[in-house]
């Protein structure tokens, strides 16, 4: 027989079976179980902390009374249609006269471009980045459809002016962003 064709037998070493120490095995199991329990407790504690902070810091509502606001949505759409049908032309201008002060001018014209006199104008000024600074002002008519108000803002920055105008049965609303220096 050829030497290459002969199977080579290698001696297979058998691992010596060592006796298992039951105390050592039990200790290892306790360490693994304790580590898993500690990890689970840390995760639960962090989740509890995050849930508590989320509930305390934000209510989750973008507007007050959202249910009632949703119910009045069709009424809001009807008001928008009526306002569009009016065809009023409204120009809003803010001129600063001093730091955090200025004059708000609003010009009202009807669909034909004629000045609207005798209207009642109210503006609510809201600071979008800071609650508690909002205030309201009323504009006085100075003629030719022009209405003015002197405003003193509690702080400089960006303000949203919500304008509401009423002339007889007609009403008009608009939001304008103002930059107060």
Which strands, in side-by-side order, build the sheet including 146-152? 89-98, 101-109, 146-152, 135-143, 120-126, 157-167, 170-180
User: Look-up: residue for tokens 């989750």?
Assistant: 60
CA–CA dist 55, 35 (Å, integer): 30
**Is 99 inside a domain boundary?**
yes
Between CA 106 and CA 115 the distance in angstroms is 11
Q: Are residues 99 and 165 in the same domain?
A: yes
d(CA 140, CA 93): 15
Kindly state whether residues 94 and 171 are assigned to the same domain: yes
Instruction: Give the pLDDT of residue 37.
Output: 97
pLDDT for 1 equals 52
In a domain, 40, yes or no: yes
51 and 92 together in one domain? no
Closest to 161 in 3D by CA, of 181, 178, 140: 178
**Cβ atoms of 157 and 99 closer than 8 Å:** no
- How big is the CA angle at 56 (ends 55 and 59), to the nearest 5 degrees? 60
Do 167 and 100 have their domain in common? yes
Alpha carbons 110 and 116: distance in angstroms, whole number: 6
Of 39, 58, 77, at which residue does a domain stop? 58
Enter the DSSP assignment of 128: T
Q: How many domains does the chain have?
A: 2
Instruction: Clarify whether residues 91 and 53 are in a common domain.
Output: no
| Same domain assignment for residues 91 and 170 | yes
- List of E strands, the chain: 89-98, 101-109, 120-126, 135-143, 146-152, 157-167, 170-180
How far is it, in rounded angstroms, from Cα 148 to Cα 141? 7
> Domain containing 102: what range?
87-180
Rounded average pLDDT per 10-residue block, the chain, 181 residues: 55 58 90 96 96 82 79 88 93 92 95 94 92 92 94 93 93 93 87
Q: Tokens 């009424």: give the residue.
A: 75
Would residue 52 count as lying in a domain?
yes
How would you classify the pairing of strands 157-167 and 170-180? antiparallel
């Amino acid at each position: 027989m050829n030497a290459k064709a002969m199977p080579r037998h290698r001696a297979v070493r058998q691992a010596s079976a060592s006796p298992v120490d039951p105390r050592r095995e039990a200790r290892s199991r306790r360490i693994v179980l304790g580590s898993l329990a500690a990890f689970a407790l840390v995760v639960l504690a962090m989740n509890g902390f995050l849930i508590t902070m989320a509930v305390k810091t934000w209510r989750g509502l973008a507007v007050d009374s959202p249910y009632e606001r949703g119910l009045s949505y069709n009424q809001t759409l009807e008001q928008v249609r009526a306002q569009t049908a009016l065809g009023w032309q409204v120009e809003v201008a803010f001129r600063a006269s001093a730091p955090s002060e200025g004059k708000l001018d609003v010009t009202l014209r009807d669909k034909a471009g004629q000045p609207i006199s005798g209207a009642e104008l109210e503006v609510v000024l809201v600071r979008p980045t800071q609650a508690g600074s909002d205030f309201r002002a009323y504009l006085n008519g100075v003629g030719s459809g022009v209405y003015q108000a002197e405003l003193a803002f509690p702080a400089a920055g960006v303000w949203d002016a919500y304008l509401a105008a009423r002339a007889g049965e007609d009403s008009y609303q608009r939001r304008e962003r103002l930059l107060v220096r």
